[in-house]
Amino acid sequence: MPEARTPLLSVENLTIAFGGLVAVRDFSIAVAPGTIHALIGPNGAGKSTTFNCISRLYRPNAGRILFDGQDITRLPSSAMAGLGIARSFQNLELFNELTVYENILIGAHCHCGASLRDRLSARPPHLAAEIDRIIERTGLGAYRETKACNLDFGHQKLLELARALAIRPRLLLLDEPAAGLRNREIAILDGLLTDLARRDGLTILLVEHVMQLVMSISDRVTVLNFGTKIAEGTPQEVKSNPAVVEAYLGKETALHG
């Protein structure tokens, strides 16, 4: 059972406040290697804040974050890629004037700390083959030389995911990867994420509102409400949990993905 394995990522008793507002309180989560774990909850529940603590953009007031047994709570966000932690953002963070290939190339070079220009000019052949594999896998084959700004929204989202994959992560943190996607694109994302976890053994933690995707791909689901964990379990367990249904009251249909 995946749940019994030593977690790749553990968040222990995380608390973070903005002024007087406690955004996340005493929150813990354990993400087993090779699994897909979803973090869900109503708007303002603290999901992105938790993500920002894990990827070291925010500094928690209390608690610990362990990656593969190493305490990363005080490490800078710039150290994450080197450890094998990649993330995508809710608001896309692409280089609009660069092509699909170049955006992924920059992701692939992120370990080396070189300038943007150096990263673009250094094109070792082994990387080219790897980037082309990522481009094909993420369904961007027809857009290799297209500038990011000329892609439609769905393909821009896939490009963000492709760039995250280029760092060869062990842990992928995805902030609302399905937001704004059409059903057909969600189906592609579903297949891709499932394949990355099942075939490549990648560990994925995602924040997502699209319940159709969450319920389809997740091994475990953790539910936050008002900064506090209110439920955790398999998609089926979480879906029928009264506290979860109540948190989503008025939005119950959103849970039946």
Ligand X SMILES: Nc1ncnc2c1ncn2[C@@H]1O[C@H](COP(=O)(O)OP(=O)(O)OP(=O)(O)O)[C@@H](O)[C@H]1O
Which residues are at the interface with ligand X (CB under 6 A)? 18, 21, 23, 41, 43-49
Q: Which is nearer to ligand X, 51 or 101 (CB)?
A: 51
Q: How far is the CB of 34 from ligand X (least distance, A)?
A: 25
Cβ–Cβ < 8 Å for 102, 51: no
Q: How far is the CB of 224 from ligand X (least distance, A)?
A: 6
Q: How far is the CB of 221 from ligand X (least distance, A)?
A: 14
Q: How far is the CB of 10 from ligand X (least distance, A)?
A: 20
Report which residue type is found at 110: C
Q: Which is nearer to ligand X, 45 or 85 (CB)?
A: 45
Q: Which is nearer to ligand X, 24 or 31 (CB)?
A: 24
Across 8-40, b (16+ Cβ under 10 Å) vs e yields: bbbbbebbbeeeeebbbbebebbbbbbbbbbbb
Q: Which is nearer to ligand X, 18 or 153 (CB)?
A: 18
Distance CA 154, CA 179 (A): 9
Determine whether 176 is exposed, middle or buried from the number of CB atoms within 10 Å of its CB (0-12, 13-18, 19+): buried
Q: Which is nearer to ligand X, 21 or 249 (CB)?
A: 21
Cα dist. 191→23, 143, 187, 217, 245 in Å?
A: 33, 20, 6, 9, 27
Q: How far is the CB of 53 from ligand X (least distance, A)?
A: 10
